[in-house]
Chains A and B, each alone.
Chain A
Amino acid sequence: MALDDQSKAKRVFKVVGTRPLRPDGVDKVTGKALFGADLTAPGMLVAKILRSPHAHARIRAIDTSAAEAAPGVKAVVTAADFGAPADEAVRDVLVNCMAHDKALYDGHAVAAVAAISEAAAKAALKLIKVDYEVLPHVTDVDEAMKPGAPVVQAGRQVETVGEGFSENVTNYCEFGHGDVEAGFAKADHVIERSFRTEATHQGYIEPHACLASFASDGKADLWCCTQGQYMVRNLCSQIMGMEASQLRVTPSEIGGGFGGKTTVFIEPVALMLAKKSGRPVKIVMSRSEVLRATGPTCSSSMDIRIGMTRDGRITAGLARLRYQGGAFPCGTVEMGAMAAFAAYDLDAVRTEGWNAMTNRPKQAAYRAPGAPMSIYGVESVVDELCQHFGLDPLDVRMKNAAKAGTKASYGVTFTDIGLSACLSKAKAHPHYAAPLKAGQGRGVSCGFWFNFGGDTCVTLNVNMDGTVSVTEGNPDIGGSRASIGMMAAEELGVTFDKVRTQVVDTASLGYNEVTDGSRVTFAVGLATIKAAQAAKTVMCQRAAKIWGIDAEAVVWEDGCAKPSGPNAGDFPPMTLAEIAAVSSQTGGPIAGHHEVNADGAGVSFGVHLVDVEVDPETGATKVLRYTVFQDAGKAVHPSYVEGQMQGGAVQGIGWALNEEYIYGDDGRLQNAGFLDYRVPVASDLPMIDTVILEIPNPGHPYGVRGVGETSIVPPLAAIANAVSRAAGVRLTSLPMSPPRILAAMDAARLAAAAE
């Protein structure tokens, strides 16, 4: 069998699918792992950033002279120190890192100081005089879209946006097929509801941190916690006006990212301060800075209309989505619009989306960006239609489920997908049949994410002692060092403990896209398998040389080179270790590498099932039981896959019940800390149960699909459907905090009394 054509064979795995100890575990539990803030350098300065106290203000002047003269201060920077990158998207990143003519949101950086101590830097910040002209602001998406709203940035509207909106509306998109109005006419009942979701933060435990060093010959080094060192290099080199090769970026261990570390916030500032001062400069954000000035997800306002026949067939779906992604254009609503109805096989569907700028921080990606909100709206209306007709919510979803051959609302025909399998598993699971008490409710929801591949580069070295070093370029945010090492071991036929996988700096390997889009286990895994195959080819050639036969007459089986058959000769198999031991004598070091813009990631579906209890006195919701069903294609390390499924569910539970950015009338964030921005903790939650399904992805040699993002999509609607059934009233706004639930229950009681 050709080494690159193994996907067609039924493969029996030896390493993939097992649960070895995590390779980063000892370092992390003993405190030895080096995170962004752990890095230091001789002569290092500490930098602090001055941030706007206004939601929207023109910066008339900044006087830094007193700060520059303050004791211990070595450099001060403002926007005046930076040029203007040619690329508009890079320019936006720079303006977000350091405000230019206007402060666009509460917390927007306006100046930074590097000093010999944190105290000196903080004291100097107070000496910077910023002359602001306070401007009217807008933080609500619907308000921002109205003609006459305060304009956040002028001239950013693209050509598809029609008339009748303010200049804040930057993007419009529309997807779908079929005659939606005719579809609604076929329905026995149509429900239209409006929904709102609030902005939520990724909530990674590790704040952004970096250390920059700039040499007098123009070479620079940057250490930082990031989801993509190559992305950091690209952005920072363009912002600093340097060649990419002159900037080496080394990623630290990372304490969570979830999409929020797929851009830069402080790194260009640290580099400019290092360049000006000639000293290494470190910046560590506080939690308040993280919440005020790094990217949460979009907030949304939506209208969803769905028609259904009395036997549960959806006849048409329409979604109008309005997202705000802060003070800069963003395309997240496009992904929300494409994902909204992805779970359903529909003859008539249309989704429309608008993005509006507001005086809020620039949004950053957050697990399946855009999808959780739109799918929350759709899945809520589907649930309400099920209640209206007295139909089983899983039966209705199975009746309408997308499958191989379904044309998705965004135009693509699905191939092998696992939605129906997830729904069937959920229906058959004991959780679904478990009895509920009064005041309790059960909710279900489907979820979907596209999954990506992208640019990937892997080098695999076979060491002379028979061990293997895999070099990859994607920070490990969800266990990828384990899964990559396991795939290398599987392909080479060695045990997992013989393989060590390292994530390296930008000078050590070619370009790798950021760790996002659930791409790493899929794309880096694929490249690792190909690199291992390349190394096996070399090892077969070496064995052939030793045996004096043609290389084509040697095959690789069970971790050994073997003659392909009796005609090839009678030689005992040579193990990887035996070939590696004589590699110097047979031609030199043995390695394999692979570079690819990987495609074939394969879309991902999941189904969540949750029971809740709502306290009618307080409006508080308790999550009683939660089960996640998700198609992983092939689970390489099932414990990590379960962790991704559980983690997504927990973040979605937070989004549904507690988390929100709260702005005052002055446009300032009111809850910039973890005491007031309430993420769920272990004591808030039951154990999240998981059921992994494996419907192989034909685009990967082992069938792997990305699993990192889909799991945050269903919880919003699953919880909302459960709470709505428990409370006896449909909730249409997230988070469903106790006051909101009480208000909805009170309004329902009053309405019932009035009838």
Chain B
Amino acid sequence: MVKVAIWGSLRSFTEGRAEVEVEAATTREMLDKLAEAYPGLRPQFERGVSVAVDGLVYKDAWFTPLKPDSEVVLMPLMVGG
């Protein structure tokens, strides 16, 4: 199981939880399982999210490996200038 940190405005879709656990070995699997368990997250996932794993931010990378002790944080999809 990996623990995934959920940003504040999405917590209304995770029963108020700031951190949820899912069984996933990759970022894609984690997002799929989250959307399955918490369907309210789906619209945000469709708009796009980044995933930070142990401090590194991944954009649209499906196969980033997740370990049980990885720090996994959902972030909005970002743009730069």
Contacts and interface: CB of A to CB of B under 8 A. Distances in A.
B78 A368 contact: no
Contacts of A597: 59-61
A599 B57 contact: yes
A175 B57 CA distance: 17
A435 B43 CA distance: 56
Interface string A332-355: 001100100000000000101000
Nearest to A404: B55
Contacts of B18: 177
B58 A599 contact: yes
Given A175-B8, A177-B18, A415 B79 contact: no
Interface in B29-45: 40, 43-44
A334 B48 CA distance: 13
Interface in A574-617: 597, 599-601
A490 interface: no
Contacts of B78: 334-335, 450, 452, 517
Given A262-B79, A517-B79, A517-B80, A174 B9 contact: yes
A177 B9 CA distance: 12
Q: Which secondary structure characterizes the binding site on chain A?
A: loop
A275 to B, nearest CB: 30
Interface string A56-75: 00000000000000000000
Given A411-B73, A415-B55, A699-B56, A369 B81 contact: yes
Interface residues of A, number: 47
B9 A173 contact: yes
A184 interface: no
Contacts of A518: 80
Interface string B2-22: 000101111010000010000
Contacts of B47: 158
A519 B8 CA distance: 28
Contacts of A600: 56
A702 interface: no
Contacts of B64: 599
Interface in B44-79: 44, 47, 52, 54-61, 64, 71, 73-79
A742 to B, nearest CB: 33
Contacts of B79: 262, 331, 335, 365, 369, 516-517
Chain A CB within 10 Å, residue with most, of B7, B40, B58, B61? B7
Interface in A322-381: 331, 334-335, 338, 350, 352, 365-369
Nearest to A353: B9
A175 B5 CA distance: 11
A259 interface: yes
A176 interface: yes
Interface in A447-487: 449-454
Given A158-B47, A177-B18, A350 B8 contact: yes
Given A368-B81, A369-B79, A411-B75, A173 B8 contact: yes
A223 interface: no
B15 to A, nearest CB: 15
A414 interface: yes
A331 B52 contact: no
B80 A368 contact: yes
A102 B64 CA distance: 44
A412 B80 contact: no
Q: Taking each of B8, B12, B80, B81, which has the highest tally of chain A beta carbons within 10 Å of its own beta carbon?
A: B81
Given A177-B18, A366-B81, A452 B57 contact: yes
22 contacts: A158-B47, A159-B43, A160-B12, A174-B7, A174-B8, A175-B8, A176-B8, A177-B18, A350-B8, A352-B8, A366-B81, A368-B80, A410-B7, A410-B73, A412-B55, A412-B73, A450-B80, A452-B59, A516-B81, A519-B80, A597-B60, A599-B64
9 smallest A-B Cβ distances: which pairs? A259-B81, A517-B80, A174-B8, A365-B81, A411-B73, A516-B80, A174-B9, A367-B81, A334-B76
Given A335-B79, A369-B80, A411-B75, 16 more contacts: A158-B44, A158-B47, A159-B44, A262-B81, A334-B78, A367-B81, A410-B75, A412-B52, A451-B80, A517-B80, A517-B81, A518-B80, A599-B56, A599-B59, A601-B57, A709-B80
